[in-house]
């Protein structure tokens, strides 16, 4: 039995349905929203509606955007002959933060995972193949996560790209900059040794 | 510089403004909302609007409710001569869960805290005094938290209630049921000794 008003219960349920938010946190968030000035609470509700309604995937690279084509795909300052393939929109942000990469992206929106029933048809692989087939692409950099799903996805896509005359590369493995050898795990250290470069 | 669409940034900002939600969690929540079917995302936005618009404080006990008077104050099965004073609406839920207490409540919406500039005028103390003065109240149970602010609030209110012929009590301190003496802190053990009862 609940002692909260029904609309408050509904709001708590909504917060509790978000990933990583438990029942107690959901209650805390709902009480916080009720304590906001009405204009701020409505601004929060509007932000959800606006984002869900206007944000969709770029026709070319599948990254999230408000227009038909995202700013990176539309830019003539970017090198569109290089495509960096990532799993999630947030990975684009991570790479852009480095200010090093100047090519375009392709966002898969997931990674192959037989355990979670995610197959090749569930992520944006065919859109990538179409780009490579139709556009003038020279290099595809596989920047999926260095975990089992990311590896499998990179491997699967690189095989699909074999028939095209395109260079397929993978992000380098190694010890993170600024870290300590003592705390590096064995697999990473072995990969760092294998991939050693001449000084 | 941001590489997310503006409406998505706004939504991330809104989530990040919630208590206990950092920037990374806010991003995760925003991406989750975008991945929901449109109807579910709109239901979330509506829940915020509806809760903020319809939920307000009960005219009598100040607990959150949708009507003029909350179900507990309106019930003729509850003993309205006993008032249990708590800091927050969630504390009502905690006590109701025990199915032991059958009186009414008074929610202060905070506790006295000079450090955070919360004085007697900022919480619902005068509404409580008015109830004791005008209604037929026999006992006021102080159930504020057993911390500095809660103690100070209980002490302050009990002094204000001195002029009225009303019994003022405080929740018992002691070792929690099912716990282990080994892990009880000194202050709690001392209070448990002081408050020992005859078997």
Token look-up 């090093």 returns A100
Burial (CB < 10 A; 0-12, 13-18, 19+), residue B140, is: buried
The answer on B146 and B50 residing in a single domain is no
Beta strand A79-86 with A139-142 is parallel
A196 occurs within a structural domain? no
A148 occurs within a structural domain? yes
CB A12 within 8 A of CB A26: yes
B114 occurs within a structural domain? yes
Query: Is B161 at the interface with chain A, CB within 8 A?
Result: no
Q: What is the mean pLDDT of residues A71-95?
A: 91
**Chain A residues with beta carbon closer than 8 angstroms to that of B28:** 19-20
Number of domains making up chain A: 2
**Chain B residues with beta carbon closer than 8 angstroms to that of A43:** 14
CA distance B24 to A90: 10
Beta-ladder partners of A118: A113
pLDDT per position as a tens digit, A2-60: 668 889 999 999 999 999 999 999 999 999 999 899 999 999 999 999 999 999 899 99
pLDDT per position as a tens digit, A118-132: 999 999 999 999 999
How does DSSP assign A36-72, residue by residue?
S-HHHHHHHHHHHHHHHHH-EE-TTT--EESSSS-HH
Question: What letter would DSSP give residue A139?
Answer: E
pLDDT of residue A124: 95
B162 occurs within a structural domain? yes
Query: Is A14 at the interface with chain B, CB within 8 A?
Result: yes
How does DSSP assign B140-168, residue by residue?
EEE---SSHHHHHHHHHHHHHTTTSS-EE
A182 occurs within a structural domain? no
Query: Is A81 at the interface with chain B, CB within 8 A?
Result: no
* C-beta atoms of A45 and B48 within 8 A: yes
B89 occurs within a structural domain? yes
Task: Compute the half-sphere exposure of residue B27: CA atoms within 13 Å on the CB side of its CA.
Answer: 13
**Chain B residues with beta carbon closer than 8 angstroms to that of A96:** 3
CB A123 within 8 A of CB A116: no
Q: Domain residues for A81?
A: 60-172+187-191
Q: Residue B53: CB partners within 8 Å, gap ≥ 6?
A: A38
By C-alpha distance, the chain A residue nearest B42 is A49
The answer on A157 and A77 residing in a single domain is yes
By C-alpha distance, the chain A residue nearest B95 is A3
- Residues counted in chain B: 199
* C-beta atoms of A51 and B7 within 8 A: yes
Query: How many separate helices (H) and strands (E) can be counted in chain B?
Result: 8, 6
**Chain A residues with beta carbon closer than 8 angstroms to that of B92:** 3
Interface of B with A in 36-65 (CB under 8 A): 36, 38, 41-55, 64-65
Token look-up 């209630």 returns B161
Query: Is A10 at the interface with chain B, CB within 8 A?
Result: yes
| Percentage of residues in chain A having pLDDT higher than 90 | 64
Query: Is B89 at the interface with chain A, CB within 8 A?
Result: yes
pTM of the full structure: 0.74
* C-beta atoms of A64 and B4 within 8 A: yes
CA distance A102 to B164: 77
CA distance B100 to A117: 48
A94 occurs within a structural domain? yes
Average pLDDT, chain A: 89
| Model confidence at A188: pLDDT above 50 | yes
Local confidence band at A1 (pLDDT 50, 70, 90 cut-offs): very low
Beta-ladder partners of B118: B113
CA distance B109 to B128: 12
CA distance B41 to A199: 53
Query: Is A66 at the interface with chain B, CB within 8 A?
Result: yes
B1-4 CB contacts, 8 Å cutoff, 24+ apart: B3/A71, B3/A72, B3/A92, B3/A93, B3/A96, B4/A64, B4/A89, B4/A93
> What SS3 string covers B131-144?
HHHHCCCCEEEECC
Query: Is A90 at the interface with chain B, CB within 8 A?
Result: yes
The answer on B50 and B66 residing in a single domain is no
The Cα-based distances of A23 to A1, B12, B64, B92, B151 in angstroms read 15, 21, 18, 16, 28
CB A27 within 8 A of CB B92: no
| Model confidence at A176: pLDDT above 90 | no
The residue from B36, B54, B72 where one domain ends is B54
pLDDT of residue A3: 67
* C-beta atoms of B31 and A66 within 8 A: no
Question: What letter would DSSP give residue B66?
Answer: S
The answer on A107 and A33 residing in a single domain is no
Higher pLDDT pick, B194 / A104? A104
The answer on B16 and B69 residing in a single domain is no
Task: Compute the half-sphere exposure of residue A22: CA atoms within 13 Å on the CB side of its CA.
Answer: 2
Chunked in runs of 10, what are the mean pLDDT values of chain B (199 residues)? 79 94 92 91 94 92 91 93 92 86 93 92 94 93 89 93 91 80 79 77
The answer on B72 and B49 residing in a single domain is no
The answer on A99 and A24 residing in a single domain is no
- Most B-contacting residue of A1, A2, A7 (CB-CB within 10 A), to test interface: A7
CB B164 within 8 A of CB B132: yes
The answer on B95 and B49 residing in a single domain is no
* Facing residue for A41 by CB, picked from B4, B52, B88: B52
The answer on B134 and B78 residing in a single domain is yes
pLDDT of residue B190: 81
* Facing residue for B7 by CB, picked from A18, A27, A66: A66
The answer on A14 and A89 residing in a single domain is no
For the domain that residue A80 is a member of, what is the CATH number? Answer: 3.40.1360.10
Question: What letter would DSSP give residue B60?
Answer: T
Query: Is B74 at the interface with chain A, CB within 8 A?
Result: no
CA distance B150 to A171: 56
| Model confidence at A70: pLDDT above 60 | yes
Q: Nearest CA of chain B to the CA of A50: how many Å? A: 6
For the domain that residue A29 is a member of, what is the CATH number? Answer: 1.10.8.420
A44 occurs within a structural domain? yes
By C-alpha distance, the chain B residue nearest A12 is B47
The answer on B164 and B106 residing in a single domain is yes
The answer on B37 and B108 residing in a single domain is no
């Amino acid at each position: 039995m609940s002692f909260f008003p029904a609309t408050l219960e509904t709001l708590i349920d909504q917060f509790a349905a978000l990933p990583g938010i438990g029942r107690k946190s959901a209650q805390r968030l709902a009480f916080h929203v009720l304590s906001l000035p009405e204009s701020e609470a409505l601004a929060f509700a509007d932000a959800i509606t606006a984002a869900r309604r206007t944000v969709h995937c770029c026709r070319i690279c599948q990254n999230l955007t408000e227009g038909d084509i995202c700013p990176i795909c539309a830019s003539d300052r970017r090198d569109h002959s290089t495509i960096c393939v990532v799993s999630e929109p947030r990975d684009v942000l991570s790479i852009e933060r480095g200010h090093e990469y100047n090519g375009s992206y392709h966002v898969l929106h997931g990674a192959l995972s037989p355990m979670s029933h995610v197959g090749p048809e569930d992520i944006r692989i065919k859109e990538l193949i179409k780009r490579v087939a139709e556009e003038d692409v020279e290099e595809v950099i596989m920047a999926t996560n260095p975990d089992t799903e990311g590896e499998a996805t990179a491997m699967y896509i690189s095989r699909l790209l074999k028939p095209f005359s395109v260079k397929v590369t993978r992000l380098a493995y190694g010890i993170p900059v600024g870290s300590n050898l003592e705390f590096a795990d064995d697999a990473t250290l072995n990969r760092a040794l294998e991939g050693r470069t001449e000084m």
